Amino acid sequence: MQATTEHHGYLREEELVERLMATIPERWPHVGRARSAVLMREVDCYQGRADVVRAVFPVSRCPRRANEISELLVHPSAARVLARLHARAPRSETFLEGATGLSRPVLRQRIRQLVDSGLVRATSRGLLLRRAGGAMPEPEIWSFEAKLSKWRRALYQAMQYRGFSHRAVVVMPANRAAAALANLERFRRLGVGLVLRDAAGCRVAHWPPKTAPFSRALFNIAVGRALGAFCSPGDRRQTPATARNSSIASNHCPRWLASDPASKAAPAFSSRA
């Protein structure tokens, strides 16, 4: 994302993203019992580079062999193979070769790595199944695109993020969002959220519903990146022990956008995710 200079009191895009990273509530999206969240910046999953990505895991501790799984899944070929496997429908090597377009040597290498990592198992007949359970905990992924203007470009980029995200949101200054508001139906139709911000606060023009990512392979890559951040020593992880209750409603402003970092108190809000 290219930074834009300050104009009429608005932040540069870079500053807007930094504020988003710094003030997002510790418990947003919701972090319930035995769950953790991680916040990432400039996440590239081969379908655009999201300014901010929030991943909420159904576990509170780094899973066993998570680093190995993370390093494996960020490879598109491994993500594609795993995407073609199911927990109850065994697949043959021949099927995977045709479905993924990988050469036989590369395919066999990825199969071996996926089996060794515990994500895949082979049947007695040599067929392959994806292991069900907690070998790879799947997070809920939210992606954000911050733009001072050019709502069409922002909407297009957010749509790309739906390839690997459950929700995608565009964040814009309120005084520059007239055209976006006039085309709000496009955001609704494409399943992308729109949040407006000005000096007085912000409001949610449209909150996107949770949907499955368009591409299972791209989602696997995103999970790999999120696992790497989740289990790294310097991650931005929040757990139930440190999180506070917070949620979002379609007609209320999330605290992480409404509050000024210089202010000691932020306006309260109530919501549901």
**pLDDT one-digit tens code per residue, 86-111:** 999 999 999 999 999 999 999 999 99
Tokens of 32: 């319930």
Runs of H (alpha helix) within the chain: 13-23, 66-73, 76-83, 93-100, 104-117, 151-161, 178-182, 184-190, 216-230, 255-258
Q: Which long-range contacts (CB under 8 A, 24 or more apart) does 242-246 make?
A: 242/26, 243/26, 243/27, 243/31, 243/37, 244/25, 244/26, 244/27, 245/27, 246/25, 246/27, 246/28, 246/30, 246/271
Report the range of poorest mean pLDDT among 94-108, 126-140, 160-174, 241-255: 241-255
pLDDT score, position 64? 80
pLDDT digits (tens, 9 = 90+) for 55-66: 888 887 887 888
C-alpha–C-alpha distance, residues 172 and 199, integer Å: 12
In this prediction the pTM is 0.79
Compare 244 and 263 and report the one with higher pLDDT.
Answer: 244
215 in Cβ contact with 47 (< 8 Å): yes
pLDDT digits (tens, 9 = 90+) for 203-252: 789 989 999 999 999 999 999 999 988 887 554 555 544 443 333 333 33
Compare 54 and 271 and report the one with higher pLDDT.
Answer: 54
Inform me whether the pLDDT recorded for 255 exceeds 80.
Answer: no
If you average pLDDT over residues 173-187, what whole number do you get? 91
Inform me whether the pLDDT recorded for 253 exceeds 50.
Answer: no
